[in-house]
Amino acid sequence: MLYGIAVFPSQAVQDFANSWRIRHDPHYSIIPPHMTIRDKEELSESQLPAITEHLEAVASQTKPFQIRYNRVSSFYPASHVLYLALEDPAPMIKLHQAVCQGPLDVPAPNFVYTPHVTIGQNMPPDELHDLYGNLRMSEVNLTSTIDSLHLLRKTASGVWHVDKTFALKG
């Protein structure tokens, strides 16, 4: 089964993201706005106890923290994605590094981890450039308290559901 690990931003951030995602993100209906901590991968039932134990340990050692989204950015030309970017990504990178150890170690990642909330993806280049040109001029000042991480599971219907939540308690 496919699993992933993510955090969900505040409702205000989700509402802002969804106002763009509804038209520009084909994943709008299968997962709420989120920040991926560990990309999706196939996991067996036998792997889940060690992963759950690891995530509980990470959560118990991590204090809740504040993040601020201050702009819209893009991964173009690597991919046609528009996203909300963080003013200071360091706390999210630290959480990502803590999660991606032990049973969730990634020996050779395919990309540099960039915490973000996607607001548009898989757009034609002209649409991406037009939207990005407009949005990068907009003022963005949204905050979230990150106080939990979530193990997500992709269902047979393709929708992502929270399988388990780990409250940050550090």
What pLDDT does 29 receive? 97
Q: Would the pLDDT of 34 be above 90?
A: yes
Which letter, b or e, does each residue of 138-154 get, where b requires 16 or more Cβ atoms within 10 Å of its Cβ?
A: eebebebebebbbbbbb
Q: What is the CATH number of the domain that holds 156?
A: 3.90.1140.10
Give pLDDT tens digits for 129-154. Answer: 999 999 988 899 999 999 999 999 99
Question: What is the tens place of the pLDDT at every residue in 53-76?
Answer: 999 999 999 999 999 999 999 999
With a cut of 90, say whether residue 108 has pLDDT above it.
no
- What range defines the domain where residue 39 resides? 2-167
Looking at the predicted structure, is the pLDDT value of residue 109 above 90?
Answer: no
Read off the pTM: 0.94
**What domain count does the chain have?**
1
Active site residue 150: no
Q: Residue 48: what are its φ and ψ, rounded to 5°?
A: -65, -40
Please identify which of the residues 34, 80, 96, 150 carries the catalytic annotation.
34
- Does position 94 have pLDDT exceeding 90, yes or no? yes
- Answer whether residue 107 shows pLDDT above 90: no
Q: Are 9 and 34 in contact (CB under 8 A)?
A: yes
Instruction: State yes or no: pLDDT of 159 exceeds 90.
Output: yes
Instruction: Please indicate whether residue 116 is annotated as part of the active site.
Output: yes
- Catalytic residue among 24, 54, 80, 116, which? 116
- The structure tokens listed for 136 are 């990068």
**pLDDT score recorded for residue 111:** 85
What local confidence, expressed as pLDDT, does residue 170 receive?
85
